[in-house]
Amino acid sequence: MSLYGVMRTGVSGMNAQSNKLSTVSDNIANVNTVGYKRASTEFSSLILKSGSGNYDSGAVETTVRYAITDPGNLQFTTSTTDLAVQGNGFFVVRDANGNNFLTRAGSFVPDSTGNLVNTAGFQLMGYNIQNGAAPNVAANGFGGLQVINVNQMALQASPSTLATVAANLDPSAAVVGTPAAAAGPGNYTSKTSMVTYDNIGNAVTLDVYAAKTGANTWDVEVYDPSGAALTTHGAATTFTFDVSAAGKGALAAASTKSLSVAVPGGSTLNIDLSAMTQVASSFDFKATVDGNAPSAVEKVNIDSKGVVTAVLKNGTELPSFQIALATVPSPDHLTPEVGNVYSPNLDSGNVQVGLAGQGGLGTIQSGALEDSNVDLADELTSMIEAQRGFTANSKSFQTGADLLDVVVNLKR
């Protein structure tokens, strides 16, 4: 047995215990870091081949592992942009250089430009779903992702394109015109109005006139605020009702069921009248019209699917982004980077990107943060173990050094 080998083994043991103490110190320092994942030092022996009559001491090596798949407890907050992943998955974030990373640290706030960033300055990524667009998800990469910006949601005006109407026309009303007579300001049975919005958010009131032109037959026309007709009188504005036992006052199968008009300064508005009836009741007209006037963002809501919705001061809700989640085949092998983020490598496998609640990914909890998964009691115990182990290894080194002094002193 070599005395130098004894000393080298002692040094190896002290280095190993130092590595363990380093991970313990890192864990304790980050015990309150949002989304931090515990590091641990695993030991494995290096055995040297020995002869039958002697033993050559080997060494010990360490491997650092990260408990990334071990979730932390949720801590609830008052901010809707504080986010936590419940289940599998990571937020996709981007640094200032445009590099993408994964993280569980969801303490996001808007920066000076409106981008949602966490405490380390990483920007939250998602898919733009404004104007009803479906998320264009690239499952095996970060294509199509954009930085989520809440300022883009402010002062947006949407033109009206669809009005859904639930109305009833009074069957006891008298006939006020012939089929050739158009409903309008000078010829109508019932009148009502709808508020729509043009391309820049101006409110445009449209007047709707209904004139009974025969038994179970009505003409419906739409006029703009100046009194000009927006519909062309004819078959497309004639509505007939089926009052048989089968129809019960609903629109006849062959009847017109909708109108299409051009809102002044706006888009084409399709008016869905398929639910209109003629039953024994007075005139009634209820319309739901899309579009909105420009309004500032009052708050931002985020649901469990990661849909970021701007709630405007006028009460309008505008879904604008959907947060992306990502995972890898072996999350515990991800490479930790500065800022409590992770990057994929050969051991972790390639990134798979998706949406919350789909493909095995977890859901998103708004108004909550994931605590670190560090158990302080365990770390303090590990600290004592590392200290004792280091001391014991130093003793074996010291003993080997003392024996070497004895050998050197044999010759005086």
Same domain, 175 and 129: no
Tell which wins on pLDDT, 51 or 76: 76
367-392: average pLDDT: 92
> Does the pLDDT at position 376 exceed 70?
yes
Same domain, 94 and 213: no
Contact 301, 80 (CB under 8 A): yes
Our count of domains for the chain comes to 3
Same domain, 176 and 285: yes
199-220: average pLDDT: 94
List the beta strands (DSSP E) in 131-202.
146-147, 162-168, 190-197
CATH number reported for the structural domain that contains residue 250 in this entry: 2.60.98.20
Phi-psi region of 18 (alpha: psi -120 to 50; beta: other; left: phi over 0): alpha
Instruction: Please identify, among 262, 289, 316, the residue that sits at the C-terminal boundary of a domain.
Output: 289
Same domain, 366 and 377: no
User: What does the pLDDT read at residue 229?
Assistant: 93
The pLDDT tens digits for 379-389 are: 999 899 988 98
Instruction: Please identify, among 289, 321, 351, the residue that sits at the C-terminal boundary of a domain.
Output: 289
What is the CB neighbour count within 10 angstroms for residue 105? 24
Same domain, 53 and 113: no
Instruction: Please identify, among 289, 324, 343, the residue that sits at the C-terminal boundary of a domain.
Output: 289
Identify the CA nearest to 200 among candidates 131, 267, 293, 130. 293
What are the CA-CA distances from residue 389 to residues 15, 18, 27, 318 (Å)?
A: 10, 9, 19, 60
> Does the pLDDT at position 155 exceed 70?
no
User: What does the pLDDT read at residue 153?
Assistant: 67
The pLDDT tens digits for 135-146 are: 888 888 888 899
Return the H-helix or E-strand segment holding 131: none
Same domain, 382 and 304: no
Amino acid letter, 24: V
Same domain, 126 and 215: no
User: What does the pLDDT read at residue 113?
Assistant: 87
Q: How many CA atoms lie within 13 A of 186 on its CB side?
A: 5
Same domain, 361 and 349: yes
Q: With b meaning 16 or more CB within 10 Å and e meaning fewer, what string describes 166-186? A: ebbbbbebeebbeeeebbbee
Same domain, 244 and 169: yes
112 CA to centre of own chain: 21
Which residues touch 59 (CB under 8 Å, ≥6 apart)? 8, 9, 12, 13, 45, 46
Same domain, 173 and 260: yes
249 forms beta bridges with: none
> Does the pLDDT at position 1 exceed 70?
no
Identify the CA nearest to 317 among candidates 336, 298, 345. 298
d(CA 180, CA 203): 32
Overall pTM > 0.75 = no
Same domain, 343 and 398: no
Same domain, 264 and 166: yes
Question: Range of 311's domain?
Answer: 74-156+295-370
